[in-house]
Amino acid sequence: MKRETSEKLFKHSVNVIPGGVNSPVRACKSVGTDPLFIERADGCRLFDADGNSYIDYVGSWGPMILGHRHPEVIKAIENVLNRGTSFGAPTDLEAELADLVIDAVPSIDMVRMVNSGTEATMSAVRLARGFTGRDLIIKFDGCYHGHADTLLVEAGSGVATLNIPGSPGVPEAVTQYTLSLPFNDIDSVKEVIEKRGAEIACIIIEPVAGNMGMVPPAEGFLEELRAITEKNGIILIFDEVMTGFRVAHGGAQEGYGISPDITTLGKIIGGGLPVGAYGGRREIMEHIAPQGPVYQAGTLSGNPVAMAAGIATLKQIKQPGFYDSLNEKTERLVKGLKNAADSAGIKTTADSIGSMFGMFFTGQAVDNFADAKTSNLELFSAYYKGMREKGIYLAPSQFEAGFVSAAHSDEDIDTTIKAAEAVMGEIA
Ligand SMILES: *Cc1c(COP(=O)(O)O)cnc(C)c1O
């Protein structure tokens, strides 16, 4: 495959943008290569600047559940452009998207729109602290909740990929209120709550972890978290920025039948434009300004173009049977990838929940971040590069999830499995 144009564009970008990218993992550093520059995308395919085409399992890191350039989403964006691009005053579109979110996610009575997942989680934690009058928060190792200071502790995603222990620039005074515990370990949660329960404002968790690779919750873990937080007046925040509208229409909370106090959303609800949101029980949400004292604001929040893309997307995925066929395709893909590894004698642990999937290059079960880190990263890099060379575009990190979209056909899945069989054979 030709790479000259991507290489040239990267050389220029590195000179004017730190690392040549506007988000770290895109740089492909951990897999020992350079990024492809994308010219355009359509359906499940990406086309790079050199004219190569790829079947895309990154989906812009989660939002593109309908695939790229879905006609209804493009039409909605084009239509709203005739009205203008930003007013800094309310529009009908904000409540329309709010209604779609509230209808889908059972625990949300009210929702506030922001511009990214980072803003959503940062604001949700502030709200939990404001509501409870407590300062401590609990998160879990390997979960990523965006890059706000308080949440950059033992974080997943790029922080894990680049092996950054914490981040310079985040004062200890800020992170002293953040306790990070092992994912799926209810005993350590109980221990901390026993000692300091009355100081803890919230527990924030990815109900299905997707930023240390994909790690599902252990049987009963989320139920126990719900019970113990309720008993101790601690706000339970489900960070569903990735899982919302992805693992089920109503998110992981619908799938596992658990009602958190606050939910954060992003990715899919923006239909490929920058949107985040946080919502929850009415009595909690009423603490947000201007109704209550907890301050949070945004010049471009509820942006009409982003709202229109989100509305069009959420309308499409409401259609009956949407998730059944998507999930089936994902299951078949993961089985195929796992079989390809097995046949080559490569030990892997692979799984999918809804249309979110992951594969670790380790023989052991993966229940937490420590387990995830036993994955053979050299093998992963070789796999990543081999697949890319065969026209399959995966996240350039072991510590990320993959996504299937409605635009992937059975044939695309077959092509991907065939590529994996060849690559696994080469790297074994
Ligand atoms: C992507 C993600 C975020 C951060 O969202 P941004 O839009 O990148 O700021 C937060 N939490 C989870 C679970 C995510 O997957």
| Percent residues over pLDDT 90 in the chain | 94
Out of 267, 273, 400, 403, give the residue to mutate to test ligand 1, the one with the largest number of ligand atoms within 8 Å of its CB. 267
**What pLDDT sits at residue 262?**
98
Rounded alpha-carbon distances, angstroms, from residue 297 to 102, 120, 174, 289: 21, 11, 21, 8
Residue ranges covered by each domain of the chain: 4-65+321-427, 71-316
CA of 423 to the centre of ligand 1 (A): 31
Ligand 1 atom closest to the Cα of residue 206 is 13
For residue 162, the model assigns a pLDDT of 73
Q: Which residues are catalytic?
A: 144, 239, 267
The mean pLDDT of 184-202, rounded to a whole number, is: 97
Cβ–ligand 1 distance for 362 under 6 Å, the answer no
Give yes or no for residue 52 CB within 6 A of ligand 1.
no
Cα–Cα distance, 262 to 111 (Å, whole number) = 10
Write out pLDDT tens, residues 250-288: 999 999 999 999 999 999 999 999 999 999 999 999 999
Domain 4-65+321-427 adopts which CATH fold? Aspartate Aminotransferase, domain 1 (3.90.1150)
CB atoms within 10 A of CB 190: 13
pLDDT in tens, 48-90: 999 999 999 999 999 999 999 999 999 999 999 999 999 999 9
Note the pLDDT of residue 427.
Answer: 97
Instruction: Give the model's pLDDT for residue 173.
Output: 86
State yes or no: pLDDT of 404 exceeds 90: yes
Which pLDDT score, from 0 to 100, does residue 300 have? 98
Ligand 1 atom closest to the CA of 239, numbered from 1: 13
Give the architecture-level CATH label for domain 71-316. 3-Layer(aba) Sandwich (3.40)
Q: Which two tokens stand for residue 386?
A: 């081999």
- Return the structure tokens found at 401: 């999830």
Output the pLDDT for position 165: 60
Q: Average pLDDT in the 339-363 region?
A: 98
pLDDT at residue 16 greater than cutoff 80: yes
Which residue do the tokens 């490569």 mark? 346
Return the half-sphere exposure (C-beta side, CA atoms, 13 A cut-off) of residue 254: 19
Rounded mean pLDDT, 177-199? 96
Answer whether 237's CB lies under 8 Å from 201's CB: no
* 140-171 pLDDT, tens digit each: 999 999 999 999 888 887 777 776 667 788 88
* pLDDT for the residue 163: 66
Closest ligand 1 atom to 243 CA = 13
